[in-house]
Each structure stands twice: as structure tokens, then as C-alpha cells.
Amino acid sequence: MRRVVAPNPGPYTGPGTNTWILGDEPVLAVIDPGPDDDAHLAAIERKLGAAQVGVILVTHSHPDHLPLAEKLSASRQARVAHWPELADGDLVRVGQLELQALHTPGHAADHLCFWLPSDRVLFTGDLILGRGSSMVTYPEGDVAAYLRSLERVALLEPRMLFPGHWDPVADAAGKIAEYRTHRLARERQVVHELEAGGPGTAAVLTRRVYGREVEGEELLRAAEMTLRAHLKKLLDEGRVRLAGEVYALER
């Protein structure tokens, strides 16, 4: 297993996007080629050496994961595979490796994880990161789907997680449980704030719920989009109502 970290660090990408290279030469697989960056392409090429690339797999179409696929594909004459041409449960064989594509929406509607059953390792993309929490933001993010995806990968009982950002996770079960706990705790926080503080717009509720957790306009906007995703789940479940732009608990 080899990793190349893209030179795109930031508040949402951590140290940068992880590009994973796996398999045994002469045929390798690449997961998440990353952003369209020539320096990153050159770094991947150096890691690949003379090996053949059997397939380039992409967990989802966000601009920090997909764009370099086209250039790497042209350079290595390798096919690119992602949702929807890869469907849930599809098997991908590269040399001696057999990976299974798992449709795991929530962070993004087209999100896939890749399961290597022979080694019980899971390539999680942005479903689960090595540190911090994944972005599940309205309107693309779906909190209910995200929780279902976490439950699904927990049932696999993976030995190790290889995320799209930050370092591999040895305590896979603990990390999955941590992510589920975090989402449910945030939901309870939203409900409690509506109970204790009364109705409010998404912007007002963001400041009430997040308080001093976030600083700066960019992170505040991301927090509001996350809050809106939680409110959408509560609306769909009939636990919250929306009148104009004001959210309130359904009595």
C-alpha cells in the first residue's frame, strides 16, 4: 500500500487528499487520483514507476478527488471507474486483488467506498476521515443516508480504514462508532436548542447551536449548511416544521 498526498491542504481537506496505490506489480490500482495538479500527477507517476495501472477508482466526484483521473488515465492507458458505472456491490479485479464497490451516500450522493475483503480493509473516501468529522452539508449532503452508510460499513467489521484525508485508522470499529455518535449528538443539540430557545432561522440556529465552535465567515457558512442538512432530516421525519424561513419543533 502506497500513499501520495496531494498538495491541497486546507480547512476541508486536512493535509491534502490521499491518493492510494495498491496491489502487486506489474498491475496496480489507484484510488482517488485527486485534484488536477501537475505536481501531484508527477508524484503519483514516480510512485507507480514502470507498473501498469489496471483501474483508477474514484470515491466521489468532488474537485479534490476526481479531476486528475483524466490525465492519469491518458498517461497510463487505464480505465476510470466511479458511480454510476460502478454500481453497489460491483466487483473490480486488478491482478490478484478483488475490490467491492459499496454505494455509501451521505457526504455526496455518488459516494462509493471500496472494500477489500481479503484483507478486511475499507477505503472510505470522505465517508470517514482519519481525523475530525466529514462534511454533510445541505443541499448535497443527506444526514439520514449518511447514518445508514455508517451502519452499513460497521456491519463489515473492517480491520482498518484508509480515508480520503488524514492518516489510516487502526481502530476501525471505534472510529465508525465515533462518527455515528457525533452525528446523533449534533441532532440532539439541534432539537434541544429548538426546545430551549424556541424557533429560529437556519442562520440564527447556527449561531445558537455552534456558538464559539466556529470562527470566520467561511466556516460559519459550512456550519450553517451542516445545520440545514440536519434540519432537512428532522423535517422529513416530521419532527420539525418550517414556516417561511423559521424552523420550529412539531408539537
Contact in structure between 200 and 247 (CB atoms under 8 Å): yes
pLDDT for residue 216 is more than 90 = no
Residue 2 Cα distances to 46, 47, 58, 90, 144, angstroms:
11, 8, 16, 24, 33
Retrieve residue 52's grid coordinates. Answer: 501498469
Dihedral pair phi/psi, residue 47, rounded to 5°: -65, -35
Give buried/exposed letters for 193-203 (b at 16+ CB in 10 A, else e).
Answer: bbeeeeebebe
CATH numbers and ranges of domains, the chain: 2-170 (3.60.15.10), 182-249 (1.10.10)
**Tens-place pLDDT, residues 74-108:** 999 999 999 999 999 999 999 999 999 999 999 99
How far apart CA 64 and CA 247 sit, in angstroms, is 33
Q: How crowded is residue 216: how many other Cβ atoms within 10 Å of its Cβ?
A: 9
Beta-strand pair 79-81/52-57: parallel
pLDDT at 152: 98
For residue 34, give Cα distances in angstroms to 44, 62, 92, 115.
Answer: 10, 9, 20, 19
pLDDT score for 25? 86
Q: What is the mean pLDDT of the chain?
A: 96
d(CA 127, CA 58): 13
At 111-157, the pLDDT tens digits run 999 999 999 999 999 999 999 999 999 999 999 999 999 999 999 99
pLDDT value of position 39: 98
